[in-house]
């Protein structure tokens, strides 16, 4: 079969702590390094001393020292109205995510030497409809065309699954910085089927750091009164303890504060005690996914570990104990999701290497409507009627008939919710639709409601009353956490206004500063050489051609290294 050459699609893991991008190149998924040469870009956005936007490692380094103008973990706020402030600038989570996505896009384009617009972005399986829309909006704001959203555990299993190419049933256990996802996957004859997804959107490596922080405060009650001042510093030390204890049985950290020295020695045992409540929370989502998939533990061939926090021996031990066997972790856990997104990108590009692979996905939550129950004369409001139940395969479309409950009702207000609770007040409200009906006795008017859930995880609701050709479609006027078209246009302008000139990027500014220092220091011909290379670098920067800039930057770095070595 012939393959058509096609344009590239990026696979993006937009993580709570770290993000990564891959491309499908020469029949395999390849992680693309950023300008610093790393495949993981910290999901951190901030302002530098001149008020310019900085993203990734440069921002991460200022997270503790400049907490008011540097923000991390904003993915937790996707799909909410929460504001994220960087000094005087106020953003929504979509906008900050867009700044990060724009940086990832720029880095890939610099690496490739040409523009790429299409992207697949991964999302936690547990993201609801509003959060998924927010991710798409963030992509749009970053100038990306989001061709598909992909559940993170599905992406991870694609990365593992293709390496094996065997018939397999897996469970993916993804514990990242802020979210925990469990998925059960059945792979057979080139079909990857996600049988069930579950998780906890409030559990990740950040929470393990937080319990270590609390333990540190408990050791020195005198620090309590200053805890807000020292929190950034203590969190940094807590993270250090956490990472070090993944490698060694004990670790020391110390801090100087208010003319005193504080020292902490944490052992594996102490870490285990602190983390116990968090480790206990890992079990429930696993049980739920197993229950929904109707698989037993023995049916699973493998447990795949994904997410940086699964590097903790305590997490691995807990997984081994829960499953009665050792999990697999033969891929780098923080890279698996991005690698899998690259595989999916290959599928979208219709690459021949993937012709035989079919991907099916499930919807991780139930969707339904608000209904009223009648007990004799009494009406009871607010009951949830699920129309599409969780863990159905996608895309899915289901129809349900509903009847009027009072005489001469002139319209029906259809309220759409997402969740599993019996009462709608405990679920997430998604939107509402008002349907005009002819006034008739109760029960005589029946409406047909159709819910269609797409592979992108987006919901369309259609509704009409029997006998009428008029179809009402869900127009969500105000969903908490969703941006309107007007807001999106305003954000696009705002983000475009924040565009950085390559000359202003911290790494380029630093190089220019080093060049001028060297110029001042040297004499004669050497000085002319510095002038020449600085001018060439400035021309490259002004061209705004990222590939050219990257090439020149390398030359400048080598040049400076040679001279600076001679100086010392
Ligand atoms: P996300 O998908 O949420 O962006 P990652 O998969 O990159 O997250 O994982 C980030 C988390 O992994 C952080 O909380 C980090 O502290 C933790 N982590 C990374 N390496 C280690 C390690 N060696 N030991 C313990 N935790 C680690
Ligand atoms: Mg992740």
Q: Over the stretch 110-150, which tens digit does the pLDDT of each residue have? A: 888 889 999 999 998 778 778 888 999 999 999 999 998 88
Residue 53: beta bridge partners?
47
Q: Are 439 and 409 in contact (CB under 8 A)?
A: yes
260-269, 412-421, 515-524: which range is least confident on average? 515-524
Strands (E) located in 419-458:
428-436, 446-453
Query: Please, where are the H alpha helices in 79-123?
Result: 93-112
Name the one residue in this structure whose structure tokens are 């504001």: 83
Q: In angstroms, rounded to a whole number, what is the distance separating the alpha carbons of residues 72 and 82?
A: 14
Predicted local confidence at residue 17, as pLDDT? 92
Q: Average pLDDT in the 323-327 region?
A: 91
User: Does residue 18 line the site of ligand 1, with CB under 6 A?
Assistant: yes
User: What DSSP element (H or E) covers 514?
Assistant: helix 506-521
Q: How many helices (H) and strands (E) does the chain have?
A: 14, 27
Spatial neighbors of 21 by CB under 8 A, at least 6 apart, are 10, 11, 12, 13, 31, 32, 104, 107, 108, 338
**SS3 sequence of 148-182:** EEEEHHHHHHHHHHHHHCCCEEEEEEEECCCCEEE
- Which residues have CB under 8 Å from 332's CB, separation 6+? none
Q: 370-401 pLDDT, tens per residue?
A: 998 887 778 888 999 999 988 777 778 888 99
The sign of the dihedral angle between the CA atoms of 138, 139, 140, 146 is: negative
Please give the structure tokens belonging to residue 224. 């309590």
Distance CA 290, CA 303 (A): 12
Helix (H, G, I), strand (E, B) or coil at 350: coil
Out of 152, 177, 180, mutate this one to test ligand 1's pocket (max ligand atoms within 8 Å of CB): namely: 177
Residue of 561 and 166 predicted with greater confidence: 561
How far, rounded to the nearest angstrom, does the alpha carbon of residue 435 sit from its chain's CA centroid?
37
Task: Report pLDDT digits (tens) over 424-472.
Answer: 988 888 888 898 899 999 888 899 999 888 776 678 899 988 888 888 8
* Ligand in closest contact with the CA of 333: 1
Mean confidence (pLDDT) of the chain = 87
Atom of ligand 1 nearest to the CA of 206: 14
Q: Given a cut of 50, is residue 477 above it in pLDDT? A: no
User: 153: CA distance to ligand 2 center in Å?
Assistant: 9
Rounded CA separation 125/181 (Å): 7
pTM higher than 0.85: no
pLDDT of 15 higher than 90:
yes
Q: How many CB atoms lie within 10 A of CB 157?
A: 31
Query: Is residue 41 predicted with pLDDT exceeding 90?
Result: yes
- CB of 177 within 6 A of ligand 1: the answer is yes
pLDDT score for 4: 41
Bridge partners for 393 per DSSP: 362
Calculate the dihedral angle through the C-alpha atoms of 216, 220, 224, 229, rounding to the nearest 10 degrees. -70
pLDDT exceeds 70 at position 478? no
pLDDT for res 7: 80
- What mean pLDDT do residues 325-349 have? 90
- pLDDT for res 476: 47
Q: Measured between alpha carbons, how far is 470 from 408 in angstroms, rounded to an integer?
A: 20
- SS3 sequence, 207-242? HHHHHHHHHHHHHCHHHHHHHHHHHHHHHHHHHHHH
Q: Say if residue 420's pLDDT is above 80.
A: yes
- How far apart (Å, rounded) are the C-alpha atoms in residues 152 and 177? 13
State residue 166's pLDDT score.
Answer: 66
Q: What pLDDT shows up at residue 134?
A: 93
Residue 208 alpha carbon, nearest atom of ligand 1: 14
pLDDT of residue 201: 80
> Among 60, 63, 210, 308, which residue has the most ligand 1 atoms within 8 Å of its CB, making it the best to mutate?
308
The pLDDT of 535-562, averaged and rounded, is 86
Q: What is the pLDDT of residues 159-187, one digit of tens each?
A: 886 545 567 888 999 999 988 989 898 87
Distance 404 CA to ligand 2 centre (A): 46
pLDDT of residue 2: 37
Helix (H, G, I), strand (E, B) or coil at 126: coil
Task: Report the C-alpha gap between 545 and 85 in whole angstroms.
Answer: 31
What is the mean pLDDT of the segment spanning 76-89? 90
pLDDT of residue 457: 66
Burial annotation 252-284 (CB, 10 A radius, 16+ → b, else e)? ebebeeeeeebebebeeebbeebbeebbeebee
Residue that wins the pLDDT comparison between 163 and 77: 77
pLDDT score recorded for residue 211: 97
**Cα 291 to ligand 1 centroid, rounded to whole Å:** 28
pLDDT tens digit string along 197-254? 888 888 999 999 999 999 999 999 999 999 888 998 899 999 999 999 999 999 999 9
Ligand nearest to the CA of 153: 2
Query: How far, in Å, CA of 521 to CA of 381, rounded?
Result: 80
pLDDT of residue 164: 56
Ligand 2 centroid to 417 CA: how many Å? Answer: 27
Q: Does residue 312's CB lie within 6 angstroms of at least one atom of ligand 1? A: yes
Give which of 510, 535, 487 is closest to 54, Cα–Cα: 510
- Residue 11 pLDDT class (50, 70, 90 cuts): very high
* Ligand 2 center to 266 CA (angstroms): 27
* Banded pLDDT at 504 (limits 50, 70, 90): low
- Show Cβ contacts of residue 76 under 8 Å, excluding neighbours closer than 6 positions: 16, 93, 178, 201, 202
């Amino acid at each position: 079969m012939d393959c058509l050459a096609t344009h590239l699609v990026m696979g993006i893991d937009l993580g709570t702590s770290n993000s990564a991008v891959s491309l499908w190149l020469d029949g395999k998924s390849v992680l693309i390094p950023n300008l610093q040469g790393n495949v993981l870009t910290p999901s951190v956005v901030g302002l530098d001393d001149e008020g310019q936007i900085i993203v990734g490692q440069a921002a991460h380094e200022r997270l503790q020292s400049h907490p008011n103008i540097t923000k991390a973990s904003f993915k937790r706020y996707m799909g909410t109205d929460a504001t994220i402030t960087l000094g005087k600038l106020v953003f929504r989570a979509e906008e900050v995510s867009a700044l990060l996505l724009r940086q990832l896009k720029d880095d890939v384009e610099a690496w490739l030497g040409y523009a790429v617009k299409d992207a697949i972005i991964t999302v936690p399986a547990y993201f609801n409809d509003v959060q998924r829309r927010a991710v798409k909006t963030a992509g749009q704001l970053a100038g990306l065309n989001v061709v598909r959203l992909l559940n993170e555990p599905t992406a991870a299993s694609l990365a593992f699954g293709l390496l094996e190419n065997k018939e397999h049933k897996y469970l993916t256990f993804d514990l990242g910085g802020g979210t925990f996802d469990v998925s059960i996957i059945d792979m057979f004859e080139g079909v990857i089927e996600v049988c069930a997804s579950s998780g906890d959107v409030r559990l990740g490596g950040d929470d393990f750091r937080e319990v270590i922080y609390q333990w540190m405060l408990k050791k020195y009650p005198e620090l309590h009164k200053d805890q807000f001042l020292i929190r950034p510093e203590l969190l940094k030390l807590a993270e250090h303890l956490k990472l070090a204890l993944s490698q060694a049985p004990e670790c020391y950290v110390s801090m100087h504060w208010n003319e005193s020295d504080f020292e902490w020695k944490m052992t594996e045992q102490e870490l285990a005690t602190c983390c116990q409540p968090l480790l206990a929370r890992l079990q429930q989502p696993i049980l739920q996914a197993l229950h929904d998939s109707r698989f037993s533990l023995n049916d699973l061939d493998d447990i795949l570990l994904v997410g940086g926090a699964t590097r903790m021996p305590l997490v691995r031990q807990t997984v081994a104990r829960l499953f009665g066997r050792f999990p697999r972790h033969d891929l780098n856990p923080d890279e698996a999701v991005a690698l899998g997104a690259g595989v999916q990108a290959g599928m979208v590009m219709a690459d021949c290497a993937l012709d035989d692979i079919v991907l099916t996905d499930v919807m991780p939550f139930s969707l339904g409507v608000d209904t009223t129950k009648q007990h004799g004369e009494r009406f009871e409001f607010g009951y949830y009627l699920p129309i599409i139940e969780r863990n159905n395969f996608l895309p899915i479309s289901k129809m349900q008939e509903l009847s009027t409950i009072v005489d001469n009702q002139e319209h029906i207000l259809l309220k759409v919710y997402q969740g599993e609770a019996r009462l709608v007040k405990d679920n997430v409200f998604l939107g509402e639709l008002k349907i005009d009906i002819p006034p008739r006795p109760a029960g005589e008017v029946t409406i047909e409601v159709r819910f269609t859930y797409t592979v992108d995880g987006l919901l369309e609701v259609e509704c009409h009353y029997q006998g009428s050709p008029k179809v009402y479609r869900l127009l969500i006027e105000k969903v908490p956490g969703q941006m309107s078209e007007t807001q999106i246009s305003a954000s696009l302008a705002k983000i475009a206004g924040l565009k950085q000139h390559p000359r202003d990027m911290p790494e380029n500014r630093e190089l220019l500063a080093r060049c001028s220092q060297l110029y001042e220091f040297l004499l004669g011909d050497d000085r002319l050489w510095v002038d020449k290379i600085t001018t060439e670098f400035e021309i490259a920067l002004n061209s705004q051609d990222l590939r050219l800039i990257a090439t020149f930057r390398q030359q400048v770095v080598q040049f400076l290294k040679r001279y600076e070595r001679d100086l010392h």
